[in-house]
């Protein structure tokens, strides 16, 4: 929940004018700025997405936005099941699954977030929690991206060790293959959780890390570009 129109221009302008970035780059601004972002980035290789969507196509759901509305505004992607949505709005795995279905039907590519809290990790249940999230949040025809975000690292400045990330990403790959067989091998797995220019290259070098979901650092275009540069 950051950014007015002036902020979008300030952040995205340098990205638009950065030339060849050398990696897949996606920005997901607030709903009110999706159309402006899509217009600014038109003709570039930078994609635009939304931060959430409702599972229904339309109806009496004041304050919500449908996947088709996101598409109409210029989005091609959507983040679903982010830990802050699960925490602040009590979103369940089943609700996330319904949203994934709606997104795919509207032609959007979903990025589904999974991850454990600090209490769940300390009690040794991190893989159990993430396994259930994957099973409950993804439909059988899933055609999107997974993002592992250790909830305890988001916004805290704390980052799991590279070994922690490797173990969890390997587990997520195993779960995807178990659930989707060979199709599960092709699903991209992102890492999200206090990603910064200083740690991006090391995180991206971890096996099964196919990209990063950037939080606070995305509000600074130079930091965001530095992270993108680490992905080359």
CATH of the domain at 11: 3.20.20.70
Contact indicator for 68, 76 with CB cutoff of 8 Å:
no
Question: Of 69, 15, 68, 73, which Cα lies nearest the Cα of 46?
Answer: 15
* pLDDT tens digits, 115-166: 999 999 999 999 999 999 999 999 999 999 999 999 988 877 777 999 999 9
What residues act catalytically?
82, 149
Contact, 142 vs 99, CB < 8 A? no
Looking at the structure of the chain, the number of domains it has is 1
pTM of the model as a whole: 0.96
What angle do the packed helices 221-230 and 5-16 form, to 10 degrees?
A: 40
**What is the model's pLDDT at position 202?**
96
Which pLDDT value is given to residue 20? Answer: 83
For residue 83, the enclosing domain spans 5-230
d(CA 124, CA 51) in angstroms, rounded, equals: 30
Beta-bridged to residue 212, according to DSSP, are 191
Please give the pLDDT value at position 53. Answer: 98
Q: Do 110 and 103 contact (CB within 8 A), yes or no?
A: yes
Six token digits for residue 220 = 């600074």
Mean pLDDT score of the chain: 95
Give how far the C-alpha of residue 77 lies from the chain's centroid of Cα atoms, to the nearest Å: 9
Residue ranges for the chain with pLDDT beneath 70: none
State the pLDDT at residue 215: 92
**pLDDT at residue 153, as a whole number:** 84
- The per-residue pLDDT for 103 is 98
Residue 34: C-alpha distances to residues 142, 202, 217 (Å): 24, 31, 19
CB 217 within 8 A of CB 174: no
């Amino acid at each position: 929940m950051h950014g007015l129109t002036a902020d979008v221009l300030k952040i995205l302008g340098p990205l638009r004018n950065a030339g060849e970035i050398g990696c897949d780059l996606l920005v997901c601004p607030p709903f009110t700025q999706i159309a402006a972002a899509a217009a600014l980035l038109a003709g570039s290789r930078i994609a635009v997405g939304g931060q959430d969507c409702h599972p229904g196509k339309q109806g009496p759901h004041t304050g919500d936005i449908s996947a088709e509305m996101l598409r109409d505004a210029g989005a091609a992607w959507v983040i679903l099941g982010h830990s802050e949505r699960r925490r602040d709005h009590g979103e369940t795995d089943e609700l996330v699954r319904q949203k994934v279905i709606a997104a795919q039907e509207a032609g959007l590519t979903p990025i589904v977030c999974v991850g454990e809290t600090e209490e769940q990790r300390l009690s040794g249940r991190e893989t159990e929690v993430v396994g259930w999230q994957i099973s409950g949040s993804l439909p059988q025809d899933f055609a999107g991206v997974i993002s592992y975000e250790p909830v305890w690292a988001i916004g805290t400045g704390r980052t799991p060790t590279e070994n922690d990330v490797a173990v969890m990403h390997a587990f997520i790959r195993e779960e995807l293959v178990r659930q989707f067989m060979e199709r599960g091998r092709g699903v991209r797995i992102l890492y999200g959780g206090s990603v910064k220019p200083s740690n991006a290259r090391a995180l991206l070098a971890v096996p099964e890390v196919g990209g990063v979901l950037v939080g606070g650092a995305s509000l600074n275009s130079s930091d965001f570009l530095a992270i993108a540069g680490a992905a080359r």
